[in-house]
């Protein structure tokens, strides 16, 4: 069922009621308890439901209605949401009344964020999930905020820009995040239902400057360019056969990983000089060709030369991948249709010779001038520190640009400092005086752990913003009694890597 186009005055009334009730993450966690909060994150609402069962306060009523997807009485809803009222909820398409019972048609949940400008929370509406529906999702389901949404929101670069584009906006969470740094945002989707959720969420959160347009990929912005493009596209690889649900929020209608390839091929024409594009994606390892190498081929084939930084975060075999997305749609093992869906996925992968499916982050940039200078394709599987990566990615790009302008003599003349989140760990065999392993550990960013030798460890330890790199290398060569020129040739490329990764910074 299509959502009504949201009425601004009713959205303001709803926002006022939710604010008055204290409908925020920490208040909810306190209301139903940390154990129930953890269970809810795993898709189990019963503990939270039990915790709120006897509470008739406004926060508990709203939490039951829009946090858990449970029905409440009309009297409870009227008292908890006096400004918008039950009729207002119905007019917004958020709930429906039958006699004395009010049933939710959507979920509205607070979503916290932190960026360079501070911390806050949005209230984000989306369709009822499988826990609230008690079964599989409809194909036109508009997802609220999932883990992938949170990941991309945290990845978004944080520097101010003029125009931004959100391709495949869904409920609008990426558009809201992009608007924090952009003067205006165009949000597109093939689903008019999704676009109405985007407009609703923008109005409820008092965010202006977001324009919605309907259409596939870059068709709604033909001939236009943007300084920043973000996309959590419907990248899930889905068999193109009858009987397999084509969920709009995750299935872009292409064969295999064709959506990712198509996005990379088309995005350059819509990037202003110096503009960036960020997206989440899947890619297949096919017939002996690794997924990252296939992505490299797509970037190299772009009509617009692009800088590229691709991070593969996860690799799944075809069975695990299929199981993940069949469960995501609300069908679990042992229920009707599960085996048929699993078989369809495995047949699809087998037909294309797919051995593994990668998931990761894609960052592309149209150079402001000249040819691309960044082509980085890497696997980073370790758990990451809490907090978004957007600021870290921005610093890395800035460091890359500065390093690209420096030859070895310029780098040797530079003064560096160790980042505040870097620590050193030394591992000794029992009774040994010298360490067998020296590690540099990064507390933020990608939480990298690098094994280094004594010379590089000594150089990093001496980077305190006092002496340039060149004299430090000379002193270390003298201390270790090695050739200075050879040590310089060995260390400078590794220093470049440490600066790019954020272990070292320019003083």
pLDDT in tens, 240-290: 999 999 988 889 999 999 999 999 999 999 999 999 999 999 999 999 999
> How far is residue 276's CA from residue 228's CA, in Å, rounded to a whole number?
5
> How far is residue 318's CA from residue 254's CA, in Å, rounded to a whole number?
18
> How far is residue 125's CA from residue 14's CA, in Å, rounded to a whole number?
12
Instruction: Tell me the average pLDDT across 140-167.
Output: 92
Higher pLDDT, 1 or 441: 441
Share of the chain above pLDDT 70, in %: 99
In tens, the pLDDT along 394-404 reads 999 999 999 99
Instruction: Name 242's Cβ contacts closer than 8 Å, sequence gap at least 6.
Output: none
Share of the chain above pLDDT 90, in %: 86
Please report the pLDDT score of residue 138 as a whole number.
Answer: 87
Instruction: Tell me the average pLDDT across 128-147.
Output: 84
pTM as predicted: 0.94
> How far is residue 104's CA from residue 70's CA, in Å, rounded to a whole number?
7
Tokens of 137: 């999702």
Answer whether residue 135 shows pLDDT above 80: no
Side-chain half-sphere CA neighbours of 63 within 13 A: 29
Domain segments of the chain as ranges: 8-104, 146-388, 403-506
> How far is residue 174's CA from residue 180's CA, in Å, rounded to a whole number?
10
Instruction: Name 276's Cβ contacts closer than 8 Å, sequence gap at least 6.
Output: 157, 227, 228, 229, 363, 364, 365, 366, 397
Three-state secondary structure call for residue 354: strand
136 pLDDT band, cuts 50/70/90, is: confident
Which helix (H) or strand (E) segment holds residue 349: the answer is helix 338-352
Instruction: Tell me the average pLDDT across 16-25.
Output: 97
DSSP conformation class of 81: S
Tokens of 466: 């006092």
> How far is residue 232's CA from residue 198's CA, in Å, rounded to a whole number?
14
Answer whether residue 30 shows pLDDT above 80: yes
> How far is residue 162's CA from residue 453's CA, in Å, rounded to a whole number?
45
Q: Are 169 and 195 in contact (CB under 8 A)?
A: yes
> How far is residue 45's CA from residue 31's CA, in Å, rounded to a whole number?
14
Which helix (H) or strand (E) segment holds residue 182: the answer is strand 182-189
> How far is residue 241's CA from residue 348's CA, in Å, rounded to a whole number?
9
Side-chain half-sphere CA neighbours of 213 within 13 A: 15
Answer whether residue 328 shows pLDDT above 70: yes
In tens, the pLDDT along 88-130 reads 999 999 999 999 999 999 999 999 888 777 788 999 999 998 7
Nearest to 40 by CA among 150, 171, 152, 132: 132
Main-chain phi, psi angles of 128, to 5 degrees: -55, 135
Nearest to 246 by CA among 169, 347, 338, 325: 325
In tens, the pLDDT along 423-453 reads 999 999 998 888 999 999 999 999 999 999 9
Q: Please report the DSSP string for 432-491 in residue order.
A: -SS-SEEEEEESSTT--EEEE-HHHHHHHHH-BSSS-HHHHHHHHHHHHT--HHHHHHHH
Main-chain phi, psi angles of 41, to 5 degrees: -65, -25
Answer whether residue 412 shows pLDDT above 70: yes
Answer whether residue 20 shows pLDDT above 70: yes
Tokens of 200: 């609703």
In tens, the pLDDT along 193-220 reads 999 999 999 999 999 999 999 999 999 9
Residue pointed to by tokens 């995750």: 250
In tens, the pLDDT along 253-264 reads 999 999 999 999
291 pLDDT band, cuts 50/70/90, is: very high
Instruction: State how far the alpha carbon of 51 is from the alpha carbons of 25, 109, 181, in Å.
Output: 16, 17, 39
In tens, the pLDDT along 463-489 reads 999 999 999 999 999 999 999 999 999
Answer whether residue 1 shows pLDDT above 80: no
Selected from 1.10.150, 3.90.930, 3.40.50, 1.10.3470, the CATH number assigned to the domain covering 403-506 reads 3.90.930
Mean pLDDT of the chain: 95
Please report the pLDDT score of residue 403 as a whole number.
Answer: 98
Which helix (H) or strand (E) segment holds residue 335: the answer is none
Answer whether residue 3 shows pLDDT above 90: no
> How far is residue 236's CA from residue 385's CA, in Å, rounded to a whole number?
26
Which helix (H) or strand (E) segment holds residue 107: the answer is strand 106-115
Answer whether residue 455 shows pLDDT above 90: yes
378 CB-contact burial (10 Å; exposed 0-12 / middle 13-18 / buried 19+): exposed
Q: Are 182 and 164 in contact (CB under 8 A)?
A: yes
Please report the pLDDT score of residue 413 as a whole number.
Answer: 98
Tokens of 201: 């969420």
386 pLDDT band, cuts 50/70/90, is: low
> How far is residue 256's CA from residue 372's CA, in Å, rounded to a whole number?
28
- According to CATH, the superfamily of the domain at 146-388 is Vaccinia Virus protein VP39 (3.40.50.150)
Please report the pLDDT score of residue 101 as a whole number.
Answer: 97
pLDDT-wise least confident of 88-102, 169-183, 282-296, 321-335:
321-335
Main-chain phi, psi angles of 290, to 5 degrees: -65, 150
Tokens of 207: 């965010």
Instruction: Tell me the average pLDDT across 398-413.
Output: 98
Please report the pLDDT score of residue 387 as a whole number.
Answer: 67
Q: Are 291 and 283 in contact (CB under 8 A)?
A: yes
């Amino acid at each position: 069922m299509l959502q009504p186009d949201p009425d601004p005055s009713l959205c303001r009334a709803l926002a006022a009621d939710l604010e008055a009730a204290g409908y925020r993450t920490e208040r909810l966690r306190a209301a139903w308890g940390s154990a129930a909060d953890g269970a809810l994150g795993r898709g189990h609402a019963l503990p939270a439901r039990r915790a709120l069962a006897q509470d008739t306060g406004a926060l508990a009523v709203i939490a039951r209605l829009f946090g858990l997807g449970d029905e409440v009485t009309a009297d409870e809803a009227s008292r908890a949401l006096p400004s918008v009222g039950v009729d207002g909820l119905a007019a917004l398409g958020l709930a429906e009344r039958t006699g004395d019972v009010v049933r939710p048609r959507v979920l509205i949940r607070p979503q916290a964020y932190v960026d360079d400008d501070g911390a806050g929370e949005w209230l984000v509406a989306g369709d009822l999930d499988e826990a609230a529906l008690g079964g599989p999702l409809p194909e036109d389901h508009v997802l609220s905020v999932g883990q992938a949404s949170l990941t991309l929101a945290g990845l978004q670069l944080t520097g101010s820009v003029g125009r931004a584009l959100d391709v495949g906006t869904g409920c609008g969470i990426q558009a809201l995040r992009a608007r924090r740094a952009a003067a205006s945002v165009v949000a597109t989707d093939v689903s008019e239902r999704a676009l109405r959720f985007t407009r609703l969420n923008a109005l409820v959160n008092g965010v202006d400057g977001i324009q919605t347009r309907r259409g596939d990929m870059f068709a709604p912005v033909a001939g236009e360019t943007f300084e920043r493009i973000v996309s959590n596209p419907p990248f899930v690889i889905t068999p193109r056969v009858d009987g397999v649900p084509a969920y709009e929020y995750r299935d872009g209608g292409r064969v295999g990983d064709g959506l990712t390839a198509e996005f990379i091929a088309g995005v350059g024409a819509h990037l202003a000089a110096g503009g960036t594009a960020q997206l989440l994606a899947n890619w297949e390892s096919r017939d002996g060709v690794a997924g990252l190498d296939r992505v490299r081929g797509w970037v190299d084939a772009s009509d617009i030369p692009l800088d590229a930084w691709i991070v593969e975060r996860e690799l799944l075999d075809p069975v695990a991948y299929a199981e993940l997305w069949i469960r995501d749609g609300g069908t679990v093992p042992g229920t009707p249709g599960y085996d048929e869906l699993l078989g369809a996925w495995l047949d699809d992968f087998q037909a294309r010779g797919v051995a593994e499916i990668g998931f990761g982050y894609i960052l592309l940039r149209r150079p402001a001038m000249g040819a691309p200078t960044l082509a980085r394709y890497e696997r980073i599987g370790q758990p990451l520190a809490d907090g978004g990566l957007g600021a870290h990615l921005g610093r890395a790009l800035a460091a890359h640009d500065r390093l690209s302008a420096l030859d070895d003599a310029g780098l040797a003349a530079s003064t560096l400092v160790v980042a505040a989140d870097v620590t050193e760990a030394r591992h000794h065999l029992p009774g040994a005086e010298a360490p067998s392993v020296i590690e540099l550990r990064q507390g933020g960013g990608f939480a990298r752990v690098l094994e280094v030798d004594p010379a590089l460890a000594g150089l990093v330890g001496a980077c305190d913003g006092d002496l340039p790199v060149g004299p430090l290398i000379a002193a270390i060569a003298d201390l270790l009694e090695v050739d200075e020129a050879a040590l310089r040739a060995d260390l400078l490329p590794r220093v470049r890597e440490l600066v790019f990764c954020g272990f070292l910074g320019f003083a």
